[in-house]
Amino acid sequence: MILNAYQISKSYHNGEKELHVLRNVDLELQQGEIITIMGQSGAGKTTLLNILGTLDRSDSGSVSICGLDISQLTEKKLSELRNKQLGFVFQFHHLLPEFTAMENVLMPALIAGDELNARERADELFDYVDMTERRNHYPSQLSGGERQRVAVLRALILKPGVVLADEPTGNLDESNADRLLNLFHKINDDFNQAFVITTHNPNVSDIGNRRFVLENETLNRIDSI
């Protein structure tokens, strides 16, 4: 098991008001599995993904990644685990504008002090998405679809246990969204890479080995059609 979330609950407090977002949510992700999570705007998808990705804490419940209970880890160990085992793809690519595509992809490796091995892998990854010619371009010189592919490569550079993708196609037109979906599929097939993907888009939901919808604070399985 790559990731195990158990009985996750979360509310936000805005002044007097309490907003319950997640109630006793369980999620188990196996090696090589794709889980997709649909849900309306405000349902709590980003909140859940941030908790799974150790970027935010739940009020109760536990999260284990690669068998490690994250509540037992020091901040240092936690950031090491986050950098090594988790890849993030956001709705807006979040590439650093002052660095080239290649430098952006290498960033997690630089942080981990593992640049030497990463360079070769980065070359392979750019080739893998047919972007070798564009690897020295800055984000502003790339199309939206290309930027999102670069963001995916950055998530993959350290071969994480799981890639968490929050509405990765939310900002793309249909053909770029399809292309990104095919890429997720191919990465999953070729590298046995596990994904948790949130989305509004039924086409994205369909690539899940298990598909869920987040509504009324709970995560419910969508039956196979």
Please report, as ranges, the residues that interact with ligand ATP according to CB under 6 A. Answer: 12, 14, 19, 21, 39, 41-47
- Residue 112, CA distances (Å) to 86, 98, 131, 139, 206 in order: 13, 20, 24, 23, 34
- Whether 160 and 85 have beta carbons less than 8 Å apart is answered as yes
Q: Which of 86, 41, 40, 44 is nearest to 63 (CA)?
A: 86
Residue 193 binding partner per list Mg ion, ligand ATP, none, with a CB distance cut-off of 5 to 8 Å that depends on partner kind: none
| Least distance in angstroms from the C-beta of 225 to ligand ATP | 23
- The option from ligand ATP, Mg ion, none interacting with 43 (CB < 5 to 8 A, set by class) reads ligand ATP
Query: Longest C-alpha distance within the chain, in Å?
Result: 54
CB of 43 to ligand ATP, least distance (A): 4
208 binds, among Mg ion, ligand ATP, none (CB under 5 to 8 A by kind): none
Q: Is the dihedral of CA 51, 73, 151, 157 positive or negative?
A: negative
- The token pair at 23 is 């109630």
94 vs 159 by CB, closer to ligand ATP? 94
| Smallest distance, Mg ion to C-beta of residue 160, A | 21
Choice between 19 and 110, CB closer to Mg ion: 19
Report the relative pairing of strands 17-29 and 3-14 from DSSP bridges: antiparallel
199 is in the binding site of which of Mg ion, ligand ATP, none (Cβ under 5 to 8 A by kind)? none
Name the residue number minimizing CB distance to Mg ion: 46
Contact 9, 21 (CB under 8 A): no
Q: Residue 129 CB, nearest distance to ligand ATP (Å)?
A: 26
Q: Write down the least CB distance from residue 41 to ligand ATP, Å.
A: 3
Question: Toward ligand ATP, which CB reaches closer, 123 or 217?
Answer: 217
41: partner contacted, choices ligand ATP, Mg ion, none (Cβ within 5-8 A by kind): ligand ATP
Q: Which residues bind Mg ion (CB under 5 A)?
A: 45-46
CB of 23 to ligand ATP, least distance (A): 13
Cβ–Cβ < 8 Å for 162, 87: yes
For ligand ATP, the closer CB: 46 or 104:
46
Q: How far apart are CA 221 and CA 212, in angstroms?
A: 4
Distance (Å, rounded) from C-alpha 104 to C-alpha 96?
7
